Amino acid sequence: MAIELMATLSTLFSLAGRQTEGFLESIFSLMGLELPVPDHSTFSRRLGKLNIEIPVMPTTEAIHLVVDSTGVKVYGEGEWKTRVHGVGKGRTWRKLHLGVNEATGEIVTAVVSANDVSDHQVFGQLLEVVESEIGQVSGDGAYDKRKCYEAASDRGAKPTIPPRKNAVIWHHGNCNSPPHPRDENLREIRICWTSKVETSEWISPTFSITNNYV
């Protein structure tokens, strides 16, 4: 419990080990509590072995999952080495792919990948680890791929993904397969755009893409 408390304070206020130790001692002193505080060496040693389980809010309803990614800088060199010898080639980025419950803002799925991995490549992995039923999944144009629609369909989720700028129809009218929802959206966008060009009036499409919550 003490290590978890120190880890929380260290993360919340961006404190080093010694600073966290002194900060917690000051709090206990102001509260009149005579409680021992782990020294910074013990804190640093046990922090690496700390197992923290993030609670997941239970839900009985299908969730609306919003997915996106962000970059995470990886620092593999010390500040002294960087100042003296310059930045090395080993410093790089990692991508953190997240899935958020649109209703609660809770992160329900996360995948870390190399910086050269595209968003759509881990879309299926994001959905696989979600235990709740997924009613709808939304993302930006980076997920406008067949595999993403297939992964959403496998989970029984409705995909709301805007077509890319250079998007083309996947299943044309002469195909034996039923119309693809993504193609129907693209056709409707084209109809609305054509109407604007011809009449200078924009016809709002009947579908909508959710705002990005990630």
What are the DSSP calls for 74-130, one per residue? E--S-HHHHHHH---TT-EEEEEEEEEETTT--EEEEEEEETTS-GGGGHHHHHHT-
**Dihedral of alpha carbons 144, 186, 63, 155, sign:** negative
Query: Could you read off the pLDDT of 33-87 as tens digits, one per residue?
Result: 888 888 888 888 887 777 777 666 777 789 999 999 998 877 665 666 666 666 6
Task: Provide the pLDDT for residue 102.
Answer: 92
User: For residue 39, what are the contacts with CB-CB under 8 A and spacing of at least 6?
Assistant: 21
Task: Provide the pLDDT for residue 172.
Answer: 67
pLDDT, mean of each 10-residue run, the chain (214 residues): 82 86 89 86 81 72 93 69 64 86 90 91 94 92 91 92 82 67 79 64 51 52
Q: Are 84 and 185 in the same domain? A: yes
Task: Provide the pLDDT for residue 35.
Answer: 84
Task: Provide the pLDDT for residue 46.
Answer: 83
Q: Are 151 and 192 in the same domain? A: yes
On whether residue 209 sits in a domain, the answer given is: no
Tokens of 3: 């290590």
On whether residue 212 sits in a domain, the answer given is: no
Q: Are 190 and 96 in the same domain? A: yes
Count how many domains the chain has.
2
Range of the domain at 29: 2-47
Task: Provide the pLDDT for residue 196.
Answer: 59
Element (H, E) at 156: none
Whichever domain contains 120, its CATH number is 3.30.420
